[in-house]
Amino acid sequence: MRIIRDAEEGRRTLLSRRPLENDELPMDVRETIFRTFGAELSPDEVVRRIIRDVREDRDNAVRYYNGRIDGAQAQELRVTPEEIRAAYDAVSSELVDALKFAAERVRRYHELQLRGATLDFNQNGLGQITRPIQRVGLYIPGTRAPLPSTVIMCAVPARVAGVDELYMTSPILPDGSVPAVKLVAADIAGVDGVFKGGGAQGIAAFAYGTETFPRVDKICGPGGLFVTIAKKQVFGDVGIDAIYGPTETMVIADESADPELVAADLIAQAEHDMIASPILLTPSHYLADEVDRALTRQLAKLERQKIARAAIDNRGGCILVNDIDHAIELANEYAPEHLCLLVENPTAYASKVRNCGGLFLGEGSAEALGDYTAGPSHTMPTGGSARWSGPLSVRDFLKAMAVVNIPEMDTEELARMAAIIARAEGLGGHAAAAERRLRGR
């Protein structure tokens, strides 16, 4: 692990985010693009063509790109009830129980959240009505790493919010199936239908509808580069929750922290993918060196050692800071997805944190628990977007409607003032419509 001993250097390097689109595509991805389109295209161009084709050829285009890009074929694009029932036979009862446990924790948390999210009111003829979004599509990535936890973390808040129709799409395995554990998680979380479409074609199918895919009002959920670009390109025709990038974890630790736990928390995020960002901020030279040694020991035993090591080498490391307040200052600038305070009396520092997706206080509140069983959704803002947004929540599945029901005694004054402003704007029709409400007109 690289250890940066100057905070300004840390700002310029480790804390200076590189746009994901600037990274060169891996050779196998470039070869797939050329084989599929007969040309070397940028990711933006690839997504634009896929969206165009799905809008024109609908199911056939989804099947085509499932095969050409994902190497998987499925004639039927909607998962059948029989497939879902069979999925339970392929998943251990222990895992089913764990998923139910997680779903219940997530449900209870978001039921509490819902109490503060529905702010209906009516006063003097002015009010607000909150309504759930009618039809939502969830994109859930992963086949080799199928991410049933992400199904729960996206679907349960939607169900708590009261979404009428909740659907999910997923990339498929070579045999044309959705991973069984994903189907079990979707069933437990109350998803109404599961579809077979990965990448940009899955996003386009939900955005515009096909013979099989329903057209939804909003698309939620994380994904890789092509999913992220697709969400950007369809936004406006359909709502989206946010733009999610590679995972980020920032650990702030002092000399009281256990270096083995610090290392374990960094590795837990580093193993997601090679462009994850596992970052340690500490004022302790001793802790930095001990964590470095602990990383070496723990990585040697890790199944996903190659991925985690690449993430630590590419986008991870340690910055030595003056003190914990200095570390929090840097964290607020960086606005990480996850911020873990492994310090003495962490709650004393919580009020100083302004920008992060999730705040994890103390060694017993490991971010890995947040990924699975704590309660808040683990779908959190990345890329610095924690400066203006938060985790996926029931609010993402609700919308407010303004209600105007002016009492008759207030109409004249409002109309007179409105007409003055309208004429100042040169909008005579607006002014006339207001003035017709005046007595004697």
Q: By C-alpha distance, which of 338, 396, 389, 347 is closest to 367?
A: 338
pLDDT digits (tens, 9 = 90+) for 159-172: 999 999 999 999 99
Count of Cβ atoms closer than 10 Å to residue 26 Cβ: 10
- Least confident range from 6-20, 84-98, 219-233, 410-424: namely 6-20
* Token digits of residue 344: 């003495």
pLDDT for res 22: 61
pLDDT for res 273: 87
| Order of strands, sheet of 121-123, starting from the edge strand that comes earlier in the sequence | 121-123, 126-132, 398-404
Average pLDDT, the chain: 94
pLDDT digits (tens, 9 = 90+) for 138-161: 999 988 889 999 999 999 999 999
- Is 233 found in the same domain as 158? yes
- Is 428 found in the same domain as 360? no
pLDDT for res 144: 84
- Is 95 found in the same domain as 230? yes
Q: Total structural domains in the chain? A: 3
- Is 235 found in the same domain as 86? yes
- Is 354 found in the same domain as 283? yes
Rounded distance, CA 63 to CA 195, Å? 12
- Is 130 found in the same domain as 186? yes
End-to-end CA distance of the chain: 78
Rounded distance, CA 230 to CA 232, Å? 5
pLDDT for res 117: 76
- Is 298 found in the same domain as 320? yes
* Token digits of residue 229: 């670009």
- Res. 65 pLDDT band, cuts 50 70 90: very high
Instruction: Measure Cα distances from 363 to 125, 187, 409, 437 in Å.
Output: 51, 33, 61, 65
Instruction: Measure Cα distances from 304 to 153, 268, 435 in Å.
Output: 23, 10, 71
Tell me whether residue 125 is in a domain: yes
- Is 210 found in the same domain as 297? no
Q: Which residue's structure tokens are 């802790």?
A: 287
Question: What mean pLDDT comes out for the span 134-138?
Answer: 98
pLDDT for res 115: 87
pLDDT for res 21: 60
Asked which of 206, 240, 274 is the last residue of a domain, the reply is 240
Tell me whether residue 43 is in a domain: no
pLDDT for res 18: 72
Question: What mean pLDDT comes out for the span 205-219?
Answer: 98
Tell me whether residue 34 is in a domain: no
The C-alpha angle with vertex 275 and arms to 203 and 233, in degrees rounded to 5, equals: 25
Say which of 248, 271, 290, 337 is annotated catalytic.
337
| 136 against 225, higher pLDDT | 136
For the full predicted model, state whether its pTM sits above 0.85. Answer: yes
- Is 115 found in the same domain as 163? yes
pLDDT digits (tens, 9 = 90+) for 240-284: 999 998 899 999 999 999 999 999 999 999 999 888 999 999 999
pLDDT for res 17: 81
Tell me whether residue 57 is in a domain: no
Count of Cβ atoms closer than 10 Å to residue 349 Cβ: 18
Considering just the CA atoms, what is the radius of gyration of the chain in Å?
Answer: 25
Q: Would you say residue 440 has pLDDT above 90?
A: no
Tell me whether residue 420 is in a domain: yes
SS in 3 state form for the chain?
Answer: CCEECCHHHHHHCCCCCCCHHHCCCCHHHHHHHHHHHCCCCCHHHHHHHHHHHHHHHCHHHHHHHHHHHHCCCCCCCECCHHHHHHHHHHCCHHHHHHHHHHHHHHHHHHHHHHHHHCCCEEECCEEEEEEECCEEEEECCCCCCCCHHHHHHHHHHHHHHCCCEEEEEECCCCCCCCCHHHHHHHHHHCCCEEEECCHHHHHHHHHHCCCCCCCCCEEECCCCHHHHHHHHHHECCEEECCCCCCCEEEEEECCCCCHHHHHHHHHHHHCCCCCCEEEEEECCHHHHHHHHHHHHHHHCCCCCHHHHHHHHHHHCEEEECCCHHHHHHHHHHHCCCEEEEECCCCHHHHCCCCCCCEEEECCCCCHHHHHHCCCCCCCCCCCCHHHCCCCCCHHHHEEEEEEECCCHHHHHHHHHHHHHHHHHCCCHHHHHHHHCCCCCC
Question: For residue 165, which amino acid is it?
Answer: E
Asked which of 203, 220, 240 is the last residue of a domain, the reply is 240
Based on the number of CB atoms within 10 Å of its own CB, is 10 exposed (0-12), middle (13-18) or buried (19 or more)? buried
| 32 against 20, higher pLDDT | 32
Say which of 110, 248, 271, 338 is annotated catalytic.
338
Rounded distance, CA 154 to CA 241, Å? 11
**Strand 165-170 relative to strand 135-139, pairing:** parallel
Q: Which domain holds residue 425?
A: 406-435
Tell me whether residue 397 is in a domain: no
Asked which of 240, 257, 284 is the last residue of a domain, the reply is 240
- Residues 227/220, Cβ–Cβ less than 8 Å: no
Q: What is the CATH number of the domain that holds 298?
A: 3.40.50.1980
Q: Would you say residue 310 has pLDDT above 70?
A: yes
pLDDT digits (tens, 9 = 90+) for 78-93: 999 999 999 999 999 9
pLDDT for res 439: 75
- Is 192 found in the same domain as 110? yes
Tell me whether residue 86 is in a domain: yes
- Tell me if residue 337 is catalytic: yes
- Is 94 found in the same domain as 214? yes
Tell me whether residue 396 is in a domain: no
pLDDT digits (tens, 9 = 90+) for 83-132: 999 999 999 999 999 999 999 999 999 999 998 777 788 888 899 999 99
| 18 against 320, higher pLDDT | 320
- Is 264 found in the same domain as 183? no
Instruction: Measure Cα distances from 180 to 106, 194, 220 in Å.
Output: 21, 12, 21
- Res. 441 pLDDT band, cuts 50 70 90: low
Question: What mean pLDDT comes out for the span 329-344?
Answer: 97
